[in-house]
Amino acid sequence: WSENNENPLVSFANYFNPILKKLNLEVDLINTEYSIPIKSGYNDKTIPISSLSTGTKGLLLSMFPLYELDTTDSIILVDEPERSLFPDMQIDLISHYQNLAPDAQIIVATHSPFIAAAFEPEERFILYFDDDGKVAVRKGESPIGDDPNDLLKNDFKVDYYNEFGKKAYKEYLNLRTKLTQETELEKKKELLIELTELGDKYNF
């Protein structure tokens, strides 16, 4: 029977294993003890979905309906898909939604620059408070796939350095000024070492 009939989990695995791979999980094609058979990529141990992390459960539960239903010509609303997910999971997340619903329009609400980077700038509608305290909207600026830090700066208008980073950058600029003004060779070498170490530490 199995030779003539494909295991229905194979199709399911083809869609979900690329998503689960980054979590060191995969669809269990052999042990079907659970309705959603997931196993560890470390030891092949079957894991009930109730034992998965909050982020993983939320991710899978939001995607299952897209796999089961015909989403042709549908509008799909996804609210904060990045919730409880590590940044490396967020990078390609939208492409997985698009693979599951290729003929649907997907509208995403997000606060993550990793998610926002998956869209063209004209596809991003950024809500913000204007000078009168009213909600306004503007289009994105950074190109699709851009560095998330660029999106934070250009689209989110966020200064992504906290007080410690700002203090370090100010010190970095101060050292650069001292280096250009210093004439004594030994002191110049010391300043260069200090400048290089600080620059490498913060990637300035």
Summarised one tens digit per residue, pLDDT across range 49-89 is 889 999 999 999 999 999 999 999 999 999 999 999 999 99
What does the pLDDT read at residue 36? 81
| Confidence category of residue 1, pLDDT binned at 50, 70, 90 | very low
What's the rounded Cα separation, in Å, for the pair 156 and 149?
A: 10
Strands 135-139 and 25-27: unpaired
pLDDT in tens, 172-186: 999 999 999 999 999
Helix (H, G, I), strand (E, B) or coil at 15: helix
- 130 Cβ neighbours under 8 A, 6+ residues apart: 136
